[in-house]
Structures are given as C-alpha cells and as structure tokens.
C-alpha cells in the first residue's frame, strides 16, 4: 500500500484535469452529496455566464449606439424607467431563490449527521494529515468503506488547516483548540486526493493525502489492497501492533535473530514479512509523522537541523552549552522539543508529536544508521 511520489502526483493531476467522468470544471462525483453540489454550481455558473454576456453585450451595444457623433451632438437627459427598474430587481431576485434554497438544503444535509457513522479521528499538523482508526492504528492515508456514512472528527496541532476532498465535495476548516467534523458517504471505490485548502505555511501545498474507498467484499477474496474490504484492510494494517511486547523487544534488540526465530513460524511468517528493519521503520516514521517537512537526511539544514551525522556528535545548544547526542538526548528532543534548543534554530517551531515508545526506538535506530553506526 506504500504510495510512491509518482502515484500521488498522478492523483493530483487527475484532480486538476478531472479524469474519468469528471468535467473540465469538476472532478468525478464520488459521494452522495456530489450530484446536488454540482447542480447548484452549474446553475450559478450558467446564470453568471448568461448575465456576463447580456450585460457586457448591452454595454458595448449602447457605447456604439449612443456614441457622440459630432461637436453639436447633445448629451441626452437620463431619467428613470420604473418598468426597467422593477424588471432588473425582480428577475434576478427570482433567480436567487433557487440558489439560496439548494444551497441551504445542501448545507443542512451536510451538517446533519446520519446515525451510526463510522468515526475516524484526524489530526492536521504542519504539514501532514494523520488518520486514527478505531483500533488506534494511525496512518497518513484515509481508508473508508464504500456506501457507509463516515464522520471525520478533526483537530489541528498548530494553525488553521482545511480538510478538502474534492471528489466528495466536502470541505471543512480545522481550527486549533476545537474539534471540527464532517461526514460523507462514498459512492464509488478507488483512490481520491485529499488536500489542505487553507494556506498554512511554507509546505502547505504538500499537505495532501490519498483517500482509499474500499469495496464490500468477503474476507480473503482480494488480491490488490484496494480490492480488500475496509475491515480486512484495517485488521491487517499494522503488523507492528500484532507483536506481543516480548516479541517487540526481540525485534528491536536484534532484528536478524528475530527474523530467524519467527520466519519459519506459520502464524508469524506473514507478519514478519511485513516488518521493516528498525532503522528502515524509523525512516518510514520520518516520512509518515511529518518529521521530513523540517528535517533533511542529507546534511542540509531546513526548518530544523538535518539528521545526518547527528547521533554521537556534540550538539551546540542555543544557551551556549553543549550536549552529547545519545539515546536520551534524542528521546527528550522528540518528546519535549523545547527542553534543549539547538543553536541557530528557533524555539517553539518543532511540534510535539505523539509517538509510542517503540516508534521512538525505531527513530533512534534510524538516527544511528544516519551516523554510520548500526548498533
């Protein structure tokens, strides 16, 4: 299910070019409210276009018709015309009523939540989306079942973001300090883009995610991840969550020995195959948890210091002291970003990201690998 940059660019492109049964104005319709939303949109669009032509056409015609024909051409006296004024008030007034009515109806529909929605928690942060599922599995991809009402309960870690799923025609601002929610019922399976629609800083335009709508199929019938039902996907989504704490400790301590021990076990084999070595897992977290928007791996400083060669070095801190970068330093820097500030970087920029202990272990293993130290 790992998504490549190429694939996610394709998803954006298909949004812009509106492939499939989308139109030049709109992406494909993939939710129950999409049809009605487009209906109002086109109504307003065509009325605006008609009036644009009518008004500008009349203007140019009158400019030409009443042009000054010579030095003795008098300027006409303009008085008012009651039928005209009533006409241009009442006709547009009548045209506005359906706009209001459909807009109001659509709004009420989108703000009235059906009972028994599937609830998914969403955390928006500079600059990524995290989706938290009922079994507390977290992912940067939004997975939902087709034909089921889904409620997103969203919060922001920092500034105002806005969750926008164009194919579903739903959008809602996510304001820090309070929950925002929206609901939708997807009507077709496939992959659709989700983007942030509120300018939230430097990498705002990278703040996008893929929405996967899963079909309703029997367990075990599917070959492709997208053919799987939502339930089956969720059950198998987090191989790490399937390890017991003891197994996890073995995995972290010595990955090769762990693989040899469980690789032949019939139950464990499919799980072991999905696990990455701890440093690799750390790199996945760097990507998934949004660290990559501020930390590079190649030595160039960005918003935050690069992670290359950090482990084991003497870090110069903003208060003039030095600290040795070891496991404890890293753990503290990750959990309490403001405890020690690296010289040359700003306090309060790095967000607190909720991470499990074993994720921090994997990140530390990754830091070590970036310093050429595997142990």
Integer Cα distance of 189 and 174 in angstroms: 26
| Residue 337 binds which entry of ligand HEC, Cu ion, none, CB below 5-8 Å type-dependent | ligand HEC
Integer Cα distance of 196 and 126 in angstroms: 10
Taking CA 185 as the corner, what is the angle to CA 180 and CA 191, rounded to the nearest 5 degrees? 95
Q: List the structure tokens of 364.
A: 């530390």
CA-closest candidate to residue 306, choices 314, 292, 296: 296
Q: Which of 304, 311, 358, 364 binds ligand HEC (CB under 6 A)?
A: 304
Looking up tokens 């490549």 gives: 4
Q: Which residue, 185 or 208, is less far from ligand HEC as judged by CB?
A: 208
CA-closest candidate to residue 163, choices 111, 213, 134, 124: 124
Integer Cα distance of 144 and 312 in angstroms: 43
Determine what percent of the chain falls in helix, strand and coil, rounding each to the nearest 5.
Answer: 40, 20, 40
If one counts every other C-beta atom within 10 angstroms of the C-beta of residue 349, the result is 14
155 touches ligand HEC (CB under 6 A): no
Binders of Cu ion in range 160-199 (CB under 5 A): 161, 196
305 touches ligand HEC (CB under 6 A): yes
207 touches Cu ion (CB under 5 A): yes
Contact 365, 358 (CB under 8 A): no
28 touches ligand HEC (CB under 6 A): no
Integer Cα distance of 48 and 154 in angstroms: 35
Binders of Cu ion in range 132-161 (CB under 5 A): 161
294 touches ligand HEC (CB under 6 A): yes
Q: Which residue, 106 or 337, is less far from ligand HEC as judged by CB?
A: 337
Integer Cα distance of 152 and 234 in angstroms: 16
Which run of H or E residues covers position 256? helix 255-262
Q: Which residue, 170 or 325, is less far from ligand HEC as judged by CB?
A: 325
Backbone angles phi, psi at 193, to 5 degrees: -80, 145
Give the per-residue contact string, 98-137, with ligand HEC (x = CB under 6 A; - = no). ----------------------------x-----------
Spell out the residues 6+ positions from residue 292 whose beta carbon is closer than 8 angstroms to its own: 286
Q: Which residue, 171 or 308, is less far from ligand HEC as judged by CB?
A: 308
Q: Which of 142, 167, 363, 365 binds ligand HEC (CB under 6 A)?
A: 363
Binders of ligand HEC in range 308-347 (CB under 6 A): 310, 315, 325, 330, 333-334, 337, 340-342, 345-346
> Of 104-112, 135-143, 270-278, 297-305, which part binds ligand HEC (CB under 6 A)?
297-305
> DSSP letter at 127?
T
| Residue 346 binds which entry of Cu ion, ligand HEC, none, CB below 5-8 Å type-dependent | ligand HEC
196 touches ligand HEC (CB under 6 A): no
**Number of residues counted as binding ligand HEC (CB under 6 A):** 27
| Residue 207 binds which entry of ligand HEC, Cu ion, none, CB below 5-8 Å type-dependent | Cu ion
Integer Cα distance of 132 and 136 in angstroms: 6
In angstroms, what is the minimal distance from the CB of 5 to ligand HEC? Answer: 19
If one counts every other C-beta atom within 10 angstroms of the C-beta of residue 27, the result is 23
In angstroms, what is the minimal distance from the CB of 42 to Cu ion? Answer: 29
In angstroms, what is the minimal distance from the CB of 115 to ligand HEC? Answer: 37
Q: Which residue, 229 or 293, is less far from ligand HEC as judged by CB?
A: 293
List of residues contacting ligand HEC (CB under 6 A) = 126, 289-291, 293-295, 303-305, 310, 315, 325, 330, 333-334, 337, 340-342, 345-346, 349-351, 353, 363
């Amino acid at each position: 299910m790992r998504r490549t940059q190429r694939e996610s660019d394709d998803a954006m492109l298909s949004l812009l070019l509106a492939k499939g049964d989308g139109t030049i104005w709109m992406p494909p319709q993939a939710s129950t409210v999409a049809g009605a939303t487009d209906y109002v949109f086109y109504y307003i669009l065509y009325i605006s276009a008609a009036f644009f032509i009518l008004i500008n056409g009349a203007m140019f015609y009158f400019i030409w018709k009443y042009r000054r024909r010579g030095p003795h051409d008098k300027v006409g006296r303009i008085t008012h015309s009651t039928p005209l004024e009533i006409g241009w008030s009442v006709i547009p007034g009548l045209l506005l009523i359906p706009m209001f009515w459909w807009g109001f109806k659509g709004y009420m529909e989108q703000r009235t939540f059906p009972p028994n929605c599937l609830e998914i928690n969403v955390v928006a942060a500079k600059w990524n989306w995290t989706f938290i599922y009922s079994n507390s599995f977290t992912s940067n991809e939004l997975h939902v079942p087709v034909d089921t009402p889904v409620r997103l309960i969203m919060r922001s870690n920092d500034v105002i973001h806005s969750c926008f799923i164009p194919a579903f025609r739903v959008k809602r601002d996510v304001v820090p300090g309070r929950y925002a929610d929206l609901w939708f019922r997807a009507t077709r399976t496939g992959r659709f883009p989700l983007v942030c629609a509120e300018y939230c800083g430097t990498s705002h335009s990278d703040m996008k995610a893929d929405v996967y709508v899963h079909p309703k199929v029997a367990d075990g019938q599917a070959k492709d991840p997208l053919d799987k039902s939502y339930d089956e996907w969720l059950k198998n989504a987090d191989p790490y969550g399937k390890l017991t704490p003891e197994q996890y400790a073995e995995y972290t301590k010595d990955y090769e020995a762990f693989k040899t021990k469980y690789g032949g076990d019939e139950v464990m084999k499919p799980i072991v195959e999905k696990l990455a070595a701890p440093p690799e897992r750390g790199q996945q977290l760097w990507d998934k948890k949004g660290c990559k928007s501020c930390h590079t791996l190649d030595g160039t400083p960005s918003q935050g210091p690069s992670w290359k060669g950090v482990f084991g070095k003497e870090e110069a801190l903003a208060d003039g002291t030095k600290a040795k970068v070891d496991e404890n330093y890293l753990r503290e820097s990750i959990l309490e970003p403001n405890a020690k500030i690296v010289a040359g970087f700003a306090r309060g920029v790095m967000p607190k990201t909720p991470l499990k202990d074993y994720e921090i272990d994997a990140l530390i293993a990754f830091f070590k690998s970036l310093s050429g130290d595997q142990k």
